[in-house]
Chain A
């Protein structure tokens, strides 16, 4: 902690003699605002480009736009001429709105993330055989980074991938796999779960790929035979559910999160 000399911006803090925990207790979780350097200052940092030439007018246009967004005390702190009639702006403003944090609910895929050991013994105890997983980057997507992070031996962020788990048998089909091929492989190996990765999201191509997979499975009346899981940088659990999947995992997901979900969900379905 800094000494109290830096606290002179807020009279409120002087009344409190305890540690930082007590001070942070001041946050009203029903009225949460962005924090810059003082509680409730509402400071937000923005950067964006306007398709107008650089100059005082661009600056004023940027300010007006942000004021229309509802920001107060807007300041454009940097202006860069990008050429061809474009201007990049960096700005700050004070957000007068707040959120009720106590009312926030987020759909999440897994109730409890277990460790490598825990997952394997969970599978052993509750399923009694290997969980069979087929993974693919479907459609035209050639980016296997996410899929490899979850499936390959090496894994991601210091966590082993599914391939390493004795509780899983895996087939990583790689990139640019058609939904048809994914399904036929899944049927062939009697998969429990399909793991689809979608990195390319331009013009919502991922939504099309994912919808098609569900439709194909439904057309063959085998949708319920598999757990359907999707991952990617622009995916959330919510979107996945909306598209008819059982779970969605966003950026930063580690293999144990996916493995835990698969194990628990499958155990529940089978028992």
Chain B
């Protein structure tokens, strides 16, 4: 395998700085929870459904608890009290709240059970629900044993019709054409909804709503086509935005295989509040870890706004930070799909060499991570013929450097959401190049002192420098100063800050406790 010389001391410095940065984040969010985390806990406990105005029951319950100043003790404990006080099953209680027959705080007032007893009742319930997630994870493992998920780099394509049933048709077609992974793009701006829509949906803009039912429909369809073609087709959705942990919970319950899940993406690209994001990302990743779901981080996005030549080190620095934060959510390296992209100006002489340097450096820095490699988008022009060739160069860089998850470029990028044939052409492109150059990387060596090695050296040195600078100030200040993607966000600004609240001394999140305990003993 072609290998670069990597300065291990610098790498150690980078990881050390990333740990200091993560310490700062931990401190920043300690003692806090969010409405989205509390809704997630309710969902994990089995609260589902909507009221007649389509407001999800978890949202109603959390709103009621907050009104009565009860949320600071956590939604789980309060749900436990309500269940015990009314002698309800969870479904019954959810239904009663949806119909407006029960106002949770009133019911809770009637609870005569001691705090300890409520807590052990809740923890028992939690164990039962967690076992279910484990079974789903095991089911995935079994299916992957029986039907291979395909060889890496996995071929990842997107469907985005807005209509889940139309998505199914396109996804099944793509699977037959060789796709290993199907991502259902979310409807534009779902990331800014502070609730998860309900039921199957047939209208969306630029994508399809992520709902529990849509997840289930697509999972079933992919399992079915997978059985026919003898491959386990992996399903992806977006665990980001204001409902980050809720989507993680739904993904865990409906056997999604991957989730886009970045520690800073929401702050930078959706202007979501920092505290809200860091708290939500921590719990969402804990869920992903427990459910065995691979996360995909979003560093590729930096290069859509910042220059890929000048900002290459920001991508790597962010990967070190994402890795460390993910590790603190108990995600093992094989579930951390760090993202990057092939975005250098195609007019640049030797640009491909620089792409190779970046891809290979990242490969070596994170040897166990299933790296998520994103295709050219910024310099796609509408010239579909040139675009197809750019995508080919991207595929070549990937197979040489052993990337893990290949999000296929579309020749019609910058024109429209992919047509059915665009996806087929992209799959043909990737399969041709991957097959034709399968072991090319094994045959190559990077010239010592050559352009590729020099570029990698430069990027790593700049990465270490950037991480040390961030560690000195803290991550929040670096975001305020526009260190990533050239975007500046204020520490206390952004959307969703009203959903952040302080925990009382009695607060607990039984799922976080259980997941942490079980994952650390593995």
Contact = CB atoms under 8 A, between A and B. Distances in A.
A233 B415 contact: yes
Contacts of B271: 174, 176
Nearest to A148: B305
A98 interface: no
Interface string B345-387: 0000000000000000000000000000000001001100000
7 contacts: A82-B177, A84-B173, A142-B188, A148-B305, A202-B206, A202-B417, A233-B382
Interface stretch (B280-288, B419-427, B465-473): B419-427
6 A-B pairs with the lowest CB-CB distances in the bound complex, closest first: A83-B176, A140-B189, A88-B421, A140-B188, A84-B173, A200-B206
Contact of A49 (B169, B192, B421): B421
Nearest to B384: A47
A99 B440 CA distance: 51
Given A83-B176, A140-B205, A233-B414, 13 more contacts: A80-B424, A82-B173, A84-B176, A88-B421, A88-B424, A144-B305, A174-B271, A174-B487, A175-B270, A176-B271, A202-B206, A233-B382, A233-B415
Interface of A: 47-49, 80, 82-84, 86, 88, 140-142, 144-145, 148, 154, 174-176, 200-203, 205, 233, 251-252
Contact of A84 (B169, B269, B305): B169
Given A47-B421, A84-B169, A142-B188, A251 B305 contact: no
A44 B382 CA distance: 18
B269 A251 contact: no
Query: Could you say which interface size class chain B belongs to?
Result: 20 to 34
Contacts of A142: 188-189, 269-270
Interface of B: 162, 169, 172-173, 176-177, 188-189, 192, 205-206, 269-271, 304-305, 307, 378, 381-382, 414-417, 419-421, 424, 487
Contact of A175 (B206, B269, B414, B417): B269
Contacts of B419: 49
A145 B421 contact: no
> Does more than half of chain B's interface fall in helix, strand or loop, or is it mixed?
loop
A54 B305 CA distance: 42
Nearest to A154: B307
Contacts of B421: 47-49, 80, 82, 88
A82 B205 contact: no
Contact of A251 (B176, B188, B382): B382
Nearest to B168: A84
A201 B162 CA distance: 13
Contacts of A154: 307
B205 A202 contact: yes
Contacts of B269: 142, 175
Nearest to A250: B382
Contacts of A202: 162, 205-206, 417
A78 B68 CA distance: 67
A141 B188 CA distance: 7
A176 B266 CA distance: 13
Contact of B172 (A84, A144, A233): A84
A138 to B, nearest CB: 12
Nearest to A204: B205
Nearest to A87: B421
A49 B170 CA distance: 13
Nearest to A89: B421
A215 B424 CA distance: 42
A176 B176 CA distance: 36
B307 A49 contact: no
B414 A176 contact: no
Nearest to B420: A49
A88 B420 CA distance: 9
Nearest to B307: A154
Given A145-B304, A148-B305, A233-B382, A83 B205 contact: no
Contact of B420 (A86, A174, A176, A205): A86
A82 B420 contact: yes
A252 B173 CA distance: 33
A200 B188 contact: yes
Contacts of A83: 172-173, 176-177
B162 A203 contact: yes
A145 B343 CA distance: 13
Contacts of A251: 381-382, 414
A176 B205 contact: no
A88 B422 CA distance: 10
